[in-house]
């Protein structure tokens, strides 16, 4: 999605990042996933 310039978002149980584009949004989503404790 990022390479294609498409908007994307992320929904986790404790956080939601609405659809957007750009490197800051991309890194915010990756950071949220990396810090998510999972199960």
- 25 has a pLDDT exceeding 90: yes
- 29 has a pLDDT exceeding 80: yes
What average pLDDT does the structure give for the chain? 94
Residue 9: per-residue pLDDT: 98
Separation of alpha carbons 38 and 7, rounded Å: 25
- 38 has a pLDDT exceeding 90: no
Residue 3: per-residue pLDDT: 87
More confident residue, 1 or 16: 16
Element housing 25 (H / E)? helix 23-35
């Amino acid at each position: 999605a990022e390479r294609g310039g498409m908007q994307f978002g992320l929904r986790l149980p404790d956080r939601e990042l609405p659809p957007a584009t750009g490197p800051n949004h991309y890194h915010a989503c990756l950071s949220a996933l990396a810090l998510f404790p999972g199960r």
